[in-house]
Amino acid sequence: MRSLDTPRGRWIRLRMGVVCGLLAFGLGIIVSSGWQLMGREGEQWRELAEKQRQRRLHVTPKRGTIYDRNGSALAVSVEAPSVSLDAVELLRGVSPQKVPVVARDAANRIAAALQLSPAEVERKILAKRRFAWLKRRITAAEAEAIRKLSSKKEAGEERVRGLVVEGEGKRYYPRRELSGPLLGFVAPDGEGKDGFELSMNRELKGHVEQLRGLRDRSGRLLFADGVQDEQVLAGHNLHLSIDQGIQYAAERELAHAARTFEAAGGSVIVVDPYTGELLAMASWPGYNPNDYGDSEPEERRTRGLTDAFEPGSTLKIFTVAAGLAAGAIEPTQKLFCEKGLMAVDNVTIRDTHPAGWLSISQVLAVSSNICSAKIGLSMGGNKLYESLLRFGFGQQTGVPLPGEASGTLRPRGRPWVQVETASASFGQGISTTNLQLAMATAAIANGGELMEPILVRKVTTATGEVVREAAPRVRRRVVSKRVAATLAEMLVAVTEGEGTGTEAALDGYQVAGKTATAQKTDPATGRYSLDRYVASFLGFVPAKKPVVAIAVMVDEPMVEIAGGAVAAPIFRNVARMALKYKGLTPQGTQRVDIASLANAPDPANAAYEVIRQQQGKKPPVQVVSASGPVGAGSVRLPDMTGWPVREAVRRSVELGVTPKVVGTGLLARQEPGPGGVVRKGASVVLVFEPAT
Q: Give the rounded distance of the alpha carbon of 558 from its chain centre.
A: 27
Same domain flag for 95 and 121: yes
Same domain flag for 234 and 364: no
CATH code (residue 134) = 3.90.1310.10
Q: How far apart are CA 575 and CA 132, in angstroms?
A: 54
Same domain flag for 379 and 480: yes
Q: How far apart are CA 607 and CA 609, in angstroms?
A: 5
Percent of the chain with pLDDT over 70: 83
- The pLDDT-based confidence of 225 (bands split at 50, 70, 90) is low
Q: How far apart are CA 408 and CA 433, in angstroms?
A: 10
Residue 257: give the domain boundaries: 244-289+304-597
Strand pairing category for 237-240 and 66-67: parallel
Give the number of domains in the chain. Answer: 4
- Out of 136-150, 400-414, 514-528, 647-661, least confident range: 136-150
Give the DSSP H or E segment for 451.
Answer: strand 449-451
Q: What share of the chain is helix, strand, coil (3-state, %, to 5)?
A: 40, 25, 40
Question: Does any domain span residue 610?
Answer: no
pLDDT of 156 over the 80 cut: no
Same domain flag for 446 and 523: yes
Q: Which of 224, 240, 256 is the last residue of a domain?
A: 240
pLDDT in tens, 367-378: 899 999 999 998
Instruction: List CB contacts of 340: < 8 A, sequence separation 6 or more.
Output: 350, 351, 353, 354, 355, 370
Same domain flag for 44 and 124: no
Question: Does any domain span residue 609?
Answer: no
Closest CA to 371 of 394, 400, 339, 347: 339
Residue 662: Cβ within 10 Å count: 18
Question: Does any domain span residue 370?
Answer: yes
140 vs 247, residue with greater confidence: 247
Residue 7: Cβ within 10 Å count: 7
Question: Does any domain span residue 617?
Answer: no
Question: Which amino acid is located at 136 in the chain?
Answer: R
- The average pLDDT across 78-99 equals 79
- The pLDDT-based confidence of 621 (bands split at 50, 70, 90) is low
Same domain flag for 338 and 486: yes
CATH code (residue 638) = 3.30.10.20
Question: Does any domain span residue 383?
Answer: yes
- The average pLDDT across 171-177 equals 89
pLDDT at 54: 56
- Out of 64-73, 265-274, 598-607, 630-639, least confident range: 598-607
Same domain flag for 271 and 407: yes
pLDDT of 215 over the 60 cut: no
pLDDT at 141: 82
pLDDT in tens, 234-251: 788 999 999 999 999 999
pTM for the whole structure: 0.74
Average predicted confidence (pLDDT) for the chain: 82
Strand pairing category for 474-477 and 449-451: antiparallel
pLDDT of 675 over the 80 cut: no
Helix (H, G, I), strand (E, B) or coil at 335: strand
Same domain flag for 234 and 248: no
Question: Does any domain span residue 457?
Answer: yes
Q: How far apart are CA 390 and CA 381, in angstroms?
A: 14
**Rg, Å, the chain Cα set:** 38
Same domain flag for 274 and 212: no
Question: Does any domain span residue 623?
Answer: no
Same domain flag for 125 and 205: yes
Instruction: List CB contacts of 337: < 8 A, sequence separation 6 or more.
Output: 351, 354, 355, 356, 357, 358, 363, 368, 370, 371
Same domain flag for 462 and 557: yes
Question: Does any domain span residue 9?
Answer: yes
Range 334-357 burial, b when 16+ CB lie within 10 A, else e: bbebbebebebeeeebebeeebee
pLDDT at 623: 47
CATH code (residue 524) = 3.40.710.10
Same domain flag for 235 and 248: no
- The average pLDDT across 253-281 equals 95
- Out of 379-393, 517-531, 544-558, 628-642, least confident range: 628-642
pLDDT at 267: 96
Report, as residue numbers or ranges, the catalytic residues. 313
pLDDT at 655: 84
- The average pLDDT across 453-474 equals 91
Distance (Å) of CA 540 to CA 241, 447, 484, 504: 19, 12, 12, 10
- The pLDDT-based confidence of 517 (bands split at 50, 70, 90) is very high
Range 32-60 burial, b when 16+ CB lie within 10 A, else e: eeeeeeeeeeeeeeeeeeeeeebbebebe
